[in-house]
Structure 1
Amino acid sequence: MQNQEAIWLDANDRLGLFIDGPNFHGSSRDMGFDVDYQALLDFFRQRAKLTRAFYYTALDVSGEHTPLKPLVDWLSYNGYIVVTKPTKEFKNGNGNRRIKGNMDIELAIDMLNLAQYLDHAILFSGDGDFRRLVDAVQQRGVKVTVLASSDVTADELRRQADQFVELADFRPHIERFGEGARSRPGATDPQAT
């Protein structure tokens, strides 16, 4: 993290975490690591006053088993507020099946509703659609940090944020290593983006 933790986190900040599950997972997967979600919570709890930690994802409920179910269950029992909704299936003009499950509205509503209780919001997403949300939350006096991979972060989102933290720099704090990880043993984040 290049020893800049003191710059981007204040111990007195009331902090909210907003994790765009598919976006965050896709970035970590592209970088070749699994996220230790317990380590992620511990990192922020030790450095600020963590108010809420949200995790957003759509779930495919069409089959008997979804690979995300174990992760979602673990997160909800271990300090995260998990917000889900069922995916929807569409067929394009060629009859090809397409699955969709966007959680942007849910994340935006929660961040705006919680803004009055926060000093600092951390958005784990590089999605440019969140630029206007970041602006609206900043207008309410909340500092917003975007934590994502610069390779997939929209320029307009990065410019709007008060701070940008590169996922590659944050990786050492949250990377999961086998059975010795701080989170549930054998857990992976099987998100499909």
Structure 2
Amino acid sequence: MQFYATERVALFVDGANLYAAAKALGFDIDYKRLLTVFGSQARLVRALYYTALADEQEYSSIRPLIDWLDYNGYTMVTKPTKEFTDAAGRRRIKGNMDIELAVDAMELAEYLDHLVIFSGDGDFRSLVEALQHRGRRVSVVSTLMTSPPMVADELRRQADQFIDLADLQDEIGRDPNERYNREPRRRAPELNPQDDDSFESDDDLIET
């Protein structure tokens, strides 16, 4: 990773996308270690975590994780999912957080030198370009080490720096033998990006 010690950095974590990438690589993320790693590289100003929640999952197994993150250095950005029936009569749940992440990134860019986006979603390419036009460096964290890759090629090419999540496993991975009481193991989120291998359009939908 290439950071400068004096840079003001913020992390923007697409929760569902990061979860899917880590799961595909076969490890769980230790979110406290993640903050420590990036905080040691530069001046970490803020870490924002984005996820959508179904109303009935208000007190599900994902709730303890959200509460833990909220009390341990992360700014939580959540919203309710929306349920609809598609043309084939299948029940679908939509919970895209792209707009929230993009708006926050543009608003905070004035106070930052370097933005780190944890997502492989190709829809963020335009956001990265807009931030670069404002003189900001942008790194993208996802992975190429899956089949197919979890990061859209256009997003990886646009970023100033691409960081493969697989290369961070030893630094931010949770020890599988450790009983990690501070961060409960989370269930696959209700907006599961793995339903779209491209990660470029419908990563906010799941089929039920």
1:65 CA displacement: 3.1
Match of 2:155 among 139, 154, 157: 157
Query: Distance between the aligned counterparts of 1:50 and 1:144, measured in 2?
Result: 14
- Structure 1: 5+ residue runs without aligned partners? none
Deviations 1:22-81 (A, max 9, x none): 000000001111100000001111221001100000001125632311111110010000
**Alpha carbons 2:29, 2:173 under 8 Å: kept:** yes
Is 1:130 paired with 2:124? yes
1:184 CA displacement: 4.2
Is 1:98 paired with 2:95? no
Matched letter for residue 153 of structure 2 = D
Corresponding residue for residue 176 of structure 1: 174
- Structure 2: 5+ residue runs without aligned partners? 193-208
Moved more, 16-25 or 56-65: 56-65
Query: Distance between the aligned counterparts of 1:43 and 1:101, measured in 2?
Result: 29
Corresponding residue for residue 188 of structure 1: 185
Corresponding residue for residue 83 of structure 1: 77
Query: Distance between the aligned counterparts of 1:63 and 1:44, measured in 2?
Result: 31
Query: Distance between the aligned counterparts of 1:64 and 1:25, measured in 2?
Result: 19
1:189 CA displacement: 3.1
SS of alignment partner, residue 12 of structure 2 = strand
Query: Distance between the aligned counterparts of 2:100 and 2:155, measured in 1?
Result: 18
Question: What TM-score, normalized to structure 1?
Answer: 0.91
Which 4+ residue blocks in structure 1 deviate beyond 6 angstroms?
Answer: none
Question: What TM-score, normalized to structure 2?
Answer: 0.85
SS of alignment partner, residue 93 of structure 1 = coil
Aligned residues: 186
Matched letter for residue 187 of structure 1 = P
Matched letter for residue 120 of structure 2 = G
Match of 1:15 among 4, 9, 25: 9
1:92 CA displacement: 1.6
Matched letter for residue 164 of structure 1 = F
1:180 CA displacement: 3.8
**Alpha carbons 1:58, 1:86 under 8 Å: kept:** yes
**Alpha carbons 2:81, 2:95 under 8 Å: kept:** yes
Query: Distance between the aligned counterparts of 2:77 and 2:120, measured in 1?
Result: 19
Percent identical residues:
51
Corresponding residue for residue 57 of structure 1: 51
**Alpha carbons 2:31, 2:172 under 8 Å: kept:** yes
**Alpha carbons 1:59, 1:66 under 8 Å: kept:** no
